[in-house]
Amino acid sequence: MFVLDTIAHRLKRGCETMAYPKGPAPALPDRHGGALKVDATKCADGCTACVPVCPTQAIARPDGKPVALDLGRCIFCAACVDVCPPKAITQTGDHRMAVRHREDLVLGEPGQEQVRLAVALDEKLRRLFGRSLRLRQVSAGGCAACEADTNVLGTIGWDLGRFGIQFVASPRHADGLLITGPVTKNMELALQKTYAAVAAPKIVIAVGACAIAGGPFVGHAQVHNGASAIVPVDLFIPGCPPHPLTILDGLLRMLDRLEETPRGCKALHSTA
């Protein structure tokens, strides 16, 4: 009888897995400002109001040069948005932030007001990983926030497995690594050995500000300021922590599994 009740309950609930990416993306929470945009042409001469308020030194303005904002270091506290007099730094509400190259996360130069979104892997790697990607997740000193949002993707609402992407227990069963945390000194050897245990060809994904650039711990003597100091990284997904939608977008973008939607699409930013 219990089994029948369970089946009836599930039938009543129906499918709970979101339609995305074939349907609209789920709305971001109101408190999630999404990716930042920098319009350096609005910066007042000599204004550096945004520089000292950044807790991770993600913003710089050398003399005579435009303001530069490093989304790889950014923890998205929005302090810079609040204090910027001419509103040169704004929140876009866009969940898409993953890039293939570290320098694509530095905003401010003409033509680089927003991140250059990640392009797909080359054809050979897409054939290998496009339909079946196994990842070993390595928490290299993280606080568990990025790890939690990564785990969310395995729940029934997101169902990461429907894309052929799964997390595995052993690096010997993996196609690559998904790294979180700033890579502490204590995790350096573990990360090196885990990377070495993955058979080539392999990919590495850095998730979160810590794994990209050290996050709040940047410059600390006991961290390596991100995974790139230890292993080559193929995909950078910024955030503190990144929203599960940002992580999923990055993974699917890398595998060329997305039908691109123009920036500003209401489906991406709806709060209804």
CATH of 123-271 among 3.40.50.12280, 3.40.640.10, 3.30.2350.10, 3.40.50.300: 3.40.50.12280
Partners of residue 152 on adjacent β-strands: none
Q: Among 177, 192, 178, which Cα is nearest to 224's?
A: 192
Q: Residues 213-261: pLDDT tens digits?
A: 999 998 899 999 999 999 999 999 999 999 999 999 999 999 999 875 4
Q: Which residue reads 């080359």 in tokens?
A: 122
Which residues of the chain form beta strands (DSSP E)?
A: 36-38, 59-60, 68-70, 89-91, 106-107, 133-139, 165-167, 176-180, 203-207, 235-237
* Exposure string for 39-66, b = 16+ CB within 10 A, e = fewer: bbeebeeeeebbeeebebebbbbeeeeb
Sheet containing 59-60: order of strands: 59-60, 68-70, 106-107
pTM of the model: 0.89
Q: Record the tokens describing residue 111, joined without a space.
A: 């033509």
The model's pLDDT over 142-162, given as tens digits with 9 standing for 90+, comes to 999 999 999 999 999 999 999
Residue 119, φ and ψ in degrees, nearest 5: -95, 165
